[in-house]
Structure 1
Amino acid sequence: INEFHFHPCSSLSDCSITEEGYKALASALRSNPSHLIELDLRGNDPGQSGVKELSDLLQDPNCQLKTLRFLGPAAEEACQYVTGIVGKNPLLLRELNLSEHELGDTRVNQISALLQDKHCTLNTLTLRRCSITEKQCLILTSALKSNPSQLRELDLSGNKIENTGVKHVSETLKDERCKLERLRLRYCDMTDEGCSALTSALKLNPSHLRELDLSENKLGDYGFEKLSDLLKNPQCKLETLDLCKCSITEKQCVFLTSALKSNPSHLRELDLSGNELKHTGVNKLYDVLEDSCFKLERLRLRYCGIKADDCSALTSALKSNPSHLRELDLSGNELGDSGVKNLCDLLKNPQFKLEILQLVSLYCTAFTV
């Protein structure tokens, strides 16, 4: 390639050029930078460093390159839009956060074109409260399905995509190439129908997901039953489960705790805040905490209607399995003096290695998206 005499306008689109070829191309253009003014590389796969190689070349004062095409028109528009928001070329980013921007149909189509392009190697995509509709969710997830292997974190929280939108997300999760590790669908107007579709997809491809946030959705009995079936799966390696403000009933709590008891070793963080668990539900949870195989490190039970007697049962459970818990949040519960006394007895235990204890009475805004 160093001996190639470039025409002032050269097209190498759809030539199966990989990262190695991009490096050779950039090296050649550095050694003879003054003539080429336009270069078209659309439809090639540059690997992680290919785009950076040529982007760095553009900074060379001897380089006369005026037009460098990596992307199709829609993806190029998306690239310019995103660069204007985040201040960096998204092709050089691993994390993209467009939260709080109402994208609309045109922008969603452009972002989708960018996600489908081989030059896009995003690991994290955050689109919280972007007013994404069910239709737009289909466009986005179809794009992710065509290029699923890079993405590790997806956050669509605060978009009312409802069950239909969740089903579109679920279709992406079924793909064995999908290696998503963190999925956040907080406050998406999901019910048990959407939860069933989601958990069914994850049962087909369960081993990668480490964090699941379904907070502020009314999952229903059937949804919780399906979620519990997923948690029982020995291939499910979920470490963080957020179910804040899901209107969890005692029956649903029984489903959940039964599942955690049958597959206890992976979960490290559980948030059930904002659910009126009541005495039966709380005591079922404590049964799990007593299990020596259960290695929970962070437990959040804010505003769960926990009384002094329930606190006694909690501390009793933690006394029998004290060594793993590092954070405990019981804010907004009516523990009373006797409840706090039980906690104090637990804190005296030298095997209890708690690092964070929260007992604040003010309502926390952490429940909002």
Structure 2
Amino acid sequence: MSPNSHCFPTGQTLLTVQQDIKAKLKYKYQHISEGIGHHGNQSLFKDIYTELYITEGGSGGLNNEHEVRQIEMASKKQTTQETPIKCNDIFKPLPGQDKPIRTVLTKGIAGVGKTVSVQKVILDWAEGKANQDVNFMFPLPFRDLNLKKDQYSLMQHISHYLSELKEIDSIEDGETKIVFIFDGLDECRLPLDFKNNEKCCDVTKPTSVDVLLTNLIKGNLLPSALLWITSRPAAANQIPPECIDQVTEVRGFNDPQKEEYFRKKIPDQNLANDIIKHMKTSRSLHIMCHIPVFCWISATVLEMILKEAEKDEVPKTLTQMYSHFIFIQIIVKNRKYNIATETNPKELSQSDKDMILKLAKLAFQQLQKGNLIFYEEDLRKCGLDVTEASEYSALCTEIFKEESGLYQDKVYSFVHLSIQEFLAAVHAIESCLDKKENVFSPTGDDEEKESIQLSDLHRRAVDQALKSENGHLDLFLRFLLGLSLESNQNLLRGLLTQTGSTTQTNDETVERTVRYLSDNIERESSPERIINLFHCLNELGANSLVEDMQTSLHSGTLSEIKLKPDQCSALAYLLLMSEEVLEKFKLKRYNTSEKGYQRLMPVVKTCKRALLDGCKLTYKSCETLASIHQTPNCPLRELDLSYNDLEDRGLELLCVGLTSPLCNIQTLVLGQCGLTEGCCSVLASVLSSPNSQLKQLELRDNDLQDSGVTLLSAGLEDPINYTHWGKYSCFSQVCTELSYTAVCWTGGSRL
């Protein structure tokens, strides 16, 4: 492509500017920092990079599950055919796609590798290895854009970051191929008001960052430019779906990639093999290794522990892993900078303790608000001196980091969300043990403070976690309860006030908490929240119910006993934690009550065929099933709900999930479910939905009446989906003993 004289001043060719920018980006992105800020030792990107698993990601809609639950689903062995996508190919249409792709949204949980994927694409472009048809790549992280309050034009914003463009009036010539990369939508604190923001089409017109972004994403500004946006799943719905052409998902490491990472990270291959072997012994730890950052944390901890032959301290739970990690990082920091500890070198100094507890307070306050990125004002609000925080981030870069933004403003964060959740738990438990404060209900009454016990905090934390719609306190709760064990507190020597100084013993605290968890497992209605309570019991080492169910499951004796609801929850926990995707889940094989069947519902999301016929399910089950249909990576293809009294209201709830872009149901059986003509209009909307994957629908022995079948037929005849429905038999035996002859489709013909 020849340089455009309007865009570039005399003597400054397109090639020259492009080469200068490539050189600048190569210098910036050639190193990778696994949690390490700009103060730490960094590795060359090419030496440590391990290919990530990226797939087509359905829709950009909201996902309310805690990210650890999402990774547990992603950890299932994939039995469906998915096409991996290389990060350099995200703008290439998938097979069967004709529409050109302008805007790509890439989803992925915290620490799964979104930013590393961005780094890979930019570095490969800068080094001339990929996407050489692109003239410019402009990486603009949301964490930096948050800080710009004044009004600037798009050209001025870009020039702030890449000074090579300062002399250029415009890049809007229709020939220059540009890619904008907006990393970290979940870190955005701008309103992104797509509905009310003014229209802006001029790249030289000064306006707010929010207006610039919404117009760029909508295509009013630089409609020929390509956009790549990354986000955690819970924030993905900030962008209107009509503005997104392609959604991809970063899944992190699959099992072979986990092992490849450890072997690259640990030079001693025998030690690497020992670490891989140990991680496989704990399902919860192995699942977390789908997250590259957790692999790094595990490698850091296990390399030191196994080297020093302290194998009796090898962590088996998440709480133990993170307790070791925090302690090891402080010890490494002190050794590195020759900082003498006041007492035993394996105990925390008072200065380290004070700083960690300040960071823990920040972690808790920001977790409550849902923030992963902090600014100076956030630090000041919780008593952290900015200079003090900056100095500590320079020393202990693997816990807390400070980075310079586009405009040299400082942004702060914990290395990973899970570290923030762990430290938030440290703050909660230390506030109770040392200050006699319950962080969920602080009180100034000295008499009431004196009576506060750790079990009071546990009960309140359990209650708060159970109320959370998105489970944002689930992992925090697991850490909080895990830290209640004296053995885990000993791992953080000198950081926590010992529980022995309180009026109740550690054993009594654990016993009361286990009893409270068990009571909630019996009465809680949300199957998802119940699953997390079993994770909490595992952190406390109270696994008896799960172990009993595992024994019965392996021995094949489950069918011989009538399962209580809490036993059903334990069974659901076991099946969900398994790495296998079930070919078939037949609910009726288990002898239990209606409430017990409800507890087993989450297992549906781990199977390909769910046979739930004749299990006395009601409309209440349909809300759970609808949420399952909206679960990413759900392998479910066939659902049989026949001979259950679902009623019309149950089907209406179910249809919410059936129209989700994430739903992959192809066969739905609803025979004798108490349905009437009242549900047919809702069901017809499913049949005509462009998102629907349904190929076979059975509605036998329902009182649909002629009017209901007419509505269903109208849904099938929708011209939008004529081609889709013309390929399949849409419903068989829709109703019996009716005068109306139903319209069916088989091979595109009316019968």
Once the two structures are superposed, residues 117-156 of structure 1 have per-residue CA deviations (whole angstroms, 9 ceiling, x without a partner) of 1535334321136465553344333x448xx4x4322121
Higher helix content, 1 or 2 = 2
Matched, 1:233 2:689: yes
Determine the C-alpha separation between the residues in 2 that align with 1:180 and 1:254.
29
* Partner of residue 44, structure 1: 285
Match of 1:223, SS?
A: helix
Determine the C-alpha separation between the residues in 2 that align with 1:181 and 1:105.
27
Q: How does 1:203-218 map to 2 (within 5 A)?
A: 203-205=659-661, 207-218=663-674
Q: Of 569, 573, 591, which residue of structure 2 is paired with 1:113?
A: 573
Task: Work out whether residues 244 and 274 of structure 1, in 8 Å CA contact, stay in contact via their aligned partners in 2.
Answer: yes
Percentage identity across paired residues of the two chains: 18
* Residue type at the aligned position of 2:570: Q
* Partner of residue 585, structure 2: 125
* Partner of residue 293, structure 1: 748
Task: Work out whether residues 18 and 45 of structure 1, in 8 Å CA contact, stay in contact via their aligned partners in 2.
Answer: no
Determine the C-alpha separation between the residues in 2 that align with 1:206 and 1:182.
14
* Partner of residue 247, structure 1: 703
Report the CA distance shift for 1:40/1:130 in structure 2 as closer, same or farther (over 3 A).
closer
Determine the C-alpha separation between the residues in 2 that align with 1:242 and 1:250.
16
Q: Of 631, 640, 645, which residue of structure 2 is paired with 1:175?
A: 631
Task: Work out whether residues 114 and 120 of structure 1, in 8 Å CA contact, stay in contact via their aligned partners in 2.
Answer: no
Gaps of 5+ in 2: 1-251, 264-268, 289-315, 318-534
1 or 2 for the larger relative contact order (CA 8 Å, sep ≥6)?
Answer: 2
Report the CA distance shift for 1:40/1:235 in structure 2 as closer, same or farther (over 3 A).
closer
Once the two structures are superposed, residues 292-328 of structure 1 have per-residue CA deviations (whole angstroms, 9 ceiling, x without a partner) of 734xxxxxxxxxxxxxxxxxxxxxx65xxxxxxxxxx
* Partner of residue 259, structure 1: 715
Match of 1:230, SS?
A: helix
Q: How many Å apart are 1:106 and its aligned residue?
A: 3.8
Determine the C-alpha separation between the residues in 1 that align with 2:556 and 2:560.
11
Determine the C-alpha separation between the residues in 2 that align with 1:101 and 1:245.
33
The count of corresponding residues between Structure 1 and Structure 2 is 232
Matched, 1:271 2:742: no
Q: How does 1:11-22 map to 2 (within 5 A)?
A: 19-20=255-256
Report the CA distance shift for 1:218/1:135 in structure 2 as closer, same or farther (over 3 A).
same
TM-score, scaled to structure 2: 0.27
Q: How does 1:1-369 map to 2 (within 5 A)?
A: 19-20=255-256, 40-45=281-286, 73=543, 74-85=545-556, 102-128=562-588, 130=590, 133=593, 135-141=595-601, 143-144=602-603, 148=605, 150-205=606-661, 207-262=663-718, 263=721, 264-268=725-729, 270-272=731-733, 275-278=736-739, 281-282=740-741, 284-285=742-743, 288-289=744-745, 293-294=748-749, 318=751
Report the CA distance shift for 1:101/1:165 in structure 2 as closer, same or farther (over 3 A).
farther
Determine the C-alpha separation between the residues in 2 that align with 1:199 and 1:272.
20
Match of 2:607, SS?
A: coil
Task: Work out whether residues 18 and 46 of structure 1, in 8 Å CA contact, stay in contact via their aligned partners in 2.
Answer: no
Determine the C-alpha separation between the residues in 1 that align with 2:547 and 2:254.
20
Determine the C-alpha separation between the residues in 2 that align with 1:232 and 1:259.
5
Task: Work out whether residues 631 and 662 of structure 2, in 8 Å CA contact, stay in contact via their aligned partners in 1.
Answer: no
TM-score, scaled to structure 1: 0.52
Determine the C-alpha separation between the residues in 1 that align with 2:593 and 2:565.
9
Match of 1:204, SS?
A: coil
Determine the C-alpha separation between the residues in 2 that align with 1:267 and 1:236.
13
Determine the C-alpha separation between the residues in 1 that align with 2:680 and 2:567.
35
Report the CA distance shift for 1:189/1:79 in structure 2 as closer, same or farther (over 3 A).
same
* Residue type at the aligned position of 1:44: L
Report the CA distance shift for 1:130/1:225 in structure 2 as closer, same or farther (over 3 A).
farther
* Partner of residue 344, structure 1: none
Once the two structures are superposed, residues 234-291 of structure 1 have per-residue CA deviations (whole angstroms, 9 ceiling, x without a partner) of 221211211121123111111122222223324336321662221xx21x42xx55x9
Task: Work out whether residues 669 and 697 of structure 2, in 8 Å CA contact, stay in contact via their aligned partners in 1.
Answer: yes
Q: How many Å apart are 1:181 and its aligned residue?
A: 0.9
* Residue type at the aligned position of 1:45: H
Q: How many Å apart are 1:160 and its aligned residue?
A: 1.0
Q: How many Å apart are 1:196 and its aligned residue?
A: 0.3
Task: Work out whether residues 132 and 160 of structure 1, in 8 Å CA contact, stay in contact via their aligned partners in 2.
Answer: no
Match of 1:125, SS?
A: strand
Report the CA distance shift for 1:200/1:257 in structure 2 as closer, same or farther (over 3 A).
same
Report the CA distance shift for 1:118/1:140 in structure 2 as closer, same or farther (over 3 A).
same
Gaps of 5+ in 1: 1-15, 48-68, 87-97, 295-316, 319-369
* Residue type at the aligned position of 1:210: Q
Determine the C-alpha separation between the residues in 1 that align with 2:682 and 2:560.
32
* Residue type at the aligned position of 1:79: Q
What is the RMSD of the two structures over their aligned residues, measured on CA atoms? 4.0
Match of 1:107, SS?
A: helix
Determine the C-alpha separation between the residues in 2 that align with 1:124 and 1:100.
20
Determine the C-alpha separation between the residues in 2 that align with 1:82 and 1:174.
29
* Residue type at the aligned position of 1:270: F
Which structure has the larger Rg over C-alpha atoms? 2
Report the CA distance shift for 1:17/1:249 in structure 2 as closer, same or farther (over 3 A).
closer
